[in-house]
Chains A and B, each alone.
Chain A
Amino acid sequence: MKFYFMHLMPYADLDLSYDEKHNSAWVTLPNTYYDPKKGHQLYNRYLDELEYADQLGFDGICVNEHHSNAYGLMPIPGVMAGALARRTKNVKIAILGRALPLLNNPLTIAEEFAMVDNITGGRLIAGMVRGIGAEYHSWGVNPAFSHERFQEAHDLILQAWTKPGPSVFEGKHYNFEYVNVWPRVYQDNPHPPIWIPSQGSSETIEWAAHPDRKYTYLQTFASVATVARYMKMYKDVAAGYGYEATEDQLGWSLPLYVAETDEIARREAKEHIEAFLQKFLRMPMEMLLPPGYTSVKSMVGAMSAKAGHSMKQTIDSVIEEGKFICGSPATVREKLEEYQAQIGFGHLLTLLQFGTLPAELTRKNMEIYSKEVMPYLRNVTARRVA
């Protein structure tokens, strides 16, 4: 199993009383809530944390893309990846989304990823996503064409990476007379690993597991039961295609906090994970799921589920569901060992900073995790494979 340190780079200095006046930390939250002086400090602190993960022996570090919000300050994740490319030596750098449909020229992504891949000598992991619903409001991109544009942009980027240029691309949304990306990707046999982060979708799994792709499916922030269900689905789909999915094709991304004891962990994490759940993730249904972002069938399901329970997420509810792992090293080891044995994921992406979690607690979390959880799980899973 491989271990990754994922960062969202939230605007941790957000005035959390914003929700007395605004219904979301996304799209319409005035950017006057952002103070560039504080932002300067935060960006550099977060980059330090990502670099520290390299020193602590993580296998990879992860950045991602979100727009016009306080939840994550990486609208252009390539800027972060570029900064990290030179300051880290060993870790893989996963850019877990660029959101392909948001761009009118996806060749920009082919170029950006290829540059990071070249600078790092092949340490890039290429994440491809559609972006979350809110992004379609912020960027004015039509969500009704989100799926079409994702497929087409993916095909275009793959063509740019694998077909000697110049070549022609004839699409519905994208058209090019000269696809000829310089630089070529460093990992050119056949291209950098592609990961598909998803909130859970059978269509996405069918597509990612196809023998032509065998992309790593990454389940983001979901209950253990959901993670298990989708990963089983991936394995079943692969079996249906006539091959056995490897652990390398399955990843899980979740927030985690480990401290000296269960009690300390819970006490230290509570306000920060709840800020993450209740303040940074806050958005109305209309923002989260614009028309076309998911199929009408899934939308009907989501609407009925919402009518059923609109429970507020707390530290207890997310620990209970296994969306958040929190506790002493022994507790965390035990849970992860059990989940890994049961679900069989090969990549574990932990969000060790979340919401308002300050620098010193983030570092402590990273240190305990890397010293008392990672080595143990490495041994256990290596033994199991052997």
Chain B
Amino acid sequence: MSFTESTETITGCKVRFMRKGTGAPLLFLHGASGASRWLPFMEKLSETHEVIVPEHPGFGASDSPEWLDNISDLAFFYLDVFDHLDLEKVNLVGTSIGGWLAAEIAIRNATKLSSLTVVAPAGIRVKGVRKGDVFMWNPEETARNLFHDQAFAEAMLAAPPPSKEEMEILLRNKLTSAKLAWEPRFLNPDLHKWLHRISVPTLIVWGDDDKAMPVGYAPAWRDLIPNSRLEIIENCGHVPQIEKADRFVELVSGFIGEVTR
């Protein structure tokens, strides 16, 4: 059975969802490149969970609402999403910008959460550890820098050029990413002050060869979130859910199983 697609209007904003599976809800928050497609790691996670994958406002097929200016707007919007979908005991999983967003949600209100997983999240600063300038990378550099295993980059570069519609989505995703993260670069200067409020069990996942959000950020996240555990995946870049999908699924479902038992 394939995943289902739906569009729901929440706080005046149309949001596209992909869903599959039964079990405890797992809400996946995508990163800068959006979530247009149902990916193998989603499929695997849906064997044990009800996997819910929204496209954030400003990304993909979802609306770009007037009110969207910053990550805080998006975090409060997702509190509305929890209410709208009547979600309880959610396992929140976010990667990159989505990981940042997940943390921003959790510091505001974690009562609907059962666990939190952040994958190479943006949002804080470790002085001297420079994030990759993703806005300066051309398509080839982007492909090469996202992965440790260059076979993934080659595959990405060998793909046919995007259609006009796909190009529009790519550009819209980039625009919203810039809105959220251009300046200060992938940073909410206040976030680090409040990460101690995250009371739910938290898993931090990082690739050891991440050129966008270097692994040097990982210990800072572990130290700032009280009930957290750090897992570093070897020979892996910025998108472990793609590059090391099996290991990623194993870590996430193992963690959720353990903390929600």
Contacts and interface: CB of A to CB of B under 8 A. Distances in A.
Interface of B is mostly: helix
Interface residues of A, number: 23
B164 A304 contact: yes
Interface in A156-201: none
A354 B135 CA distance: 30
B259 interface: no
Given A143-B178, A144-B179, A290-B178, A300 B135 contact: no
A141 to B, nearest CB: 6
Interface stretch (B83-91, B101-109, B117-125, B166-174): B166-174
Interface string A278-310: 000000111100111000110110011001000
A286 B167 contact: no
A291 B167 contact: no
Contact of B164 (A145, A287, A292, A300): A300
Contacts of A142: 178-179, 182-183
Contacts of A144: 175-176, 178-179, 182
Interface string B134-174: 01111000000000000000000000010010011001101
A304 B168 CA distance: 11
Given A140-B183, A141-B183, A144-B182, A292 B167 contact: no
A137 interface: yes
A291 B178 contact: yes
A121 B113 CA distance: 67
Interface in A116-173: 136-137, 140-145
Contacts of B168: 296-297, 300
A276 B145 CA distance: 32
Nearest to A140: B183
Contacts of B176: 144
Contacts of A291: 135, 171, 174-175, 177-178, 182
- Among B161, B171, B176, B185, the one with the most A-chain Cβ atoms within 10 Å of its Cβ is B171
Given A141-B183, A142-B183, A304-B164, A292 B175 contact: yes
A200 to B, nearest CB: 19
Contacts of B172: 296
Given A142-B183, A291-B178, A292-B178, 13 more contacts: A136-B182, A141-B183, A142-B178, A142-B179, A144-B175, A144-B182, A286-B138, A290-B135, A296-B171, A297-B168, A300-B164, A303-B171, A304-B164
- Lowest 8 CB-CB distances: which A-B pairs, in order? A291-B178, A144-B179, A142-B182, A291-B175, A291-B174, A144-B178, A296-B171, A142-B183
29 contacts: A28-B136, A136-B182, A140-B182, A140-B184, A141-B183, A142-B179, A144-B175, A144-B176, A144-B178, A145-B179, A286-B136, A286-B137, A290-B178, A290-B182, A291-B135, A291-B171, A291-B174, A291-B182, A292-B175, A296-B168, A296-B171, A296-B175, A299-B171, A300-B168, A300-B171, A303-B167, A303-B171, A304-B164, A307-B161
